[in-house]
Structure 1
């Protein structure tokens, strides 16, 4: 799988320690093996995405296996649907927990997997741990890939413009999304909000794609206090949590919390 230049969109050629386009734009490969394709003019902040502390909390939580049923479900779908030589892109890959599992399946069939995230801290950690995967720092709204180059794009809670998905996915290719189901992490939200509301039902529509499969995945997690703190740190409503919420979670001997994932599989129209 080859990258394209985020400035002029021409194909990038890989040299020993960098990628370069015909216009002379050059992007060095970090010592960990990833490439940074996020020009400063495309950044919304100085250091976008999750910081190192957030990344480490997520890694500890995921390594404990609490989201493994979700990973297993996605890996099972990939094993059943993708053929030989597939190109797979994991958008918003974070520290690579899911990406590496996808790559294990795809590589066995002669394919290739790329993990993309806006966070340099997350991509650096992912590249160190999973050298079998190609990782890049890039914007999910400006995917650095040629048109019709991807057999599968996976989005786990990650934003991306529908136009970009339609551009990069091959005819007959797939987009798989994971979003919160209605009752996802209700016990955690109950500690933060006076009125706990269900997540809104999934209403996404992808122009140029047909929804082929949808499923819910629900189960209860039993967490230690520190695992519950790590989970809260992973969520978008962590900034709403008051100090006493963090303290209460940290002191829990056992914290039960339900998951509710919505998985949707979209196929690109021919």
Structure 2
């Protein structure tokens, strides 16, 4: 059963219709032919085409489907299993789901769950629909999650921005947020090729600034080494990272001339519990 949705215009509950969804105020949202609902009103978009573009999404698809991040999804599945233990039909929300690799794998691992993924990028959600027709896909913003209050058991945030106010609104008391973030030396070998000086990523900044009612309960790591054996795969990895936006043509050329790269995975996996005070 899909997760409940709320109208992004008036916040009333959305009900399914033959063509999509509508609220009692007659705000209507047609389901795209690919299968998703667009719940990001144009007046709430900061640009005409927000989020990752089609080229970045294609690169992410190719790289993730190569299997090099298999240890990452395995760790995420294990953490989700722990977080949803003793919940018969958990609601799992992937906030900023990108092209849907992690979301679809979570759906496969938890067939009894209502799994919903959303992203601000329309090309990303279109790619999600090609990946799986079994997941509930939405175009939406983490700043205004189109889910009613207190509906979600677990939120997944993979290298995405956390809006703690919205997370607290949609989570059930006792729910969890699972955050994947870069560790100090994540993709160090890749960064060594393109930068003269490689600075460690700041670690644990996110959990040191948690707002009231959110508490860190598990601080885990995902580490490993990827042996990338083609320039195409190396460039696809670059396109998955923020470095893609900052590299100079000469730096990209250096990467394109590599035919192999041993590159380390170093990620932090935080489990953060939501425990609101009793009124």
Please give the range of the TM-score, normalised by the shorter of the 2 chains: over 0.9
* Structure 2 residue aligned with 1:72: 74
Does residue 93 of structure 2 align to residue 89 of structure 1? yes
CA-atom RMSD in angstroms: 1.2
* Structure 1 residue aligned with 2:274: 268
Give the one of 25, 28, 31 matched to 2:30. Answer: 28
Contact residue 192 and residue 240 of structure 1 kept, 8 A = no
* Structure 2 residue aligned with 1:113: 115
- Secondary structure in 1 aligned to 2:203? coil
Does residue 260 of structure 2 align to residue 247 of structure 1? no
The Cα offsets for residues 61-80 of structure 1, whole Å up to 9 and x where unpaired, read as 00001111000111122223
Give the one of 253, 258, 262 matched to 1:256. Answer: 262
Contact residue 226 and residue 249 of structure 1 kept, 8 A = no
* Structure 2 residue aligned with 1:14: 16
**Mapped partners of 1:181, 1:2: distance in 2:** 34
Shift of 1:227: 0.7
Shift of 1:203: 2.1
- Secondary structure in 2 aligned to 1:191? helix
Gaps of 5+ in 2: none
**Mapped partners of 2:261, 2:211: distance in 1:** 37
Shift of 1:147: 0.8
* Structure 2 residue aligned with 1:213: 218
Poorly superposed stretches of 4+, deviation over 3 Å: none
**Mapped partners of 1:87, 1:239: distance in 2:** 34
- Secondary structure in 2 aligned to 1:136? strand
**Mapped partners of 1:38, 1:246: distance in 2:** 34
The Cα offsets for residues 123-173 of structure 1, whole Å up to 9 and x where unpaired, read as 011112201100000001111111110000000011131111111110111
- Secondary structure in 1 aligned to 2:149? coil
Shift of 1:247: 2.1
Contact residue 78 and residue 105 of structure 1 kept, 8 A = no
Does residue 106 of structure 2 align to residue 102 of structure 1? yes
Output the TM-score relative to the length of structure 2: 0.93
* Structure 2 residue aligned with 1:222: 227
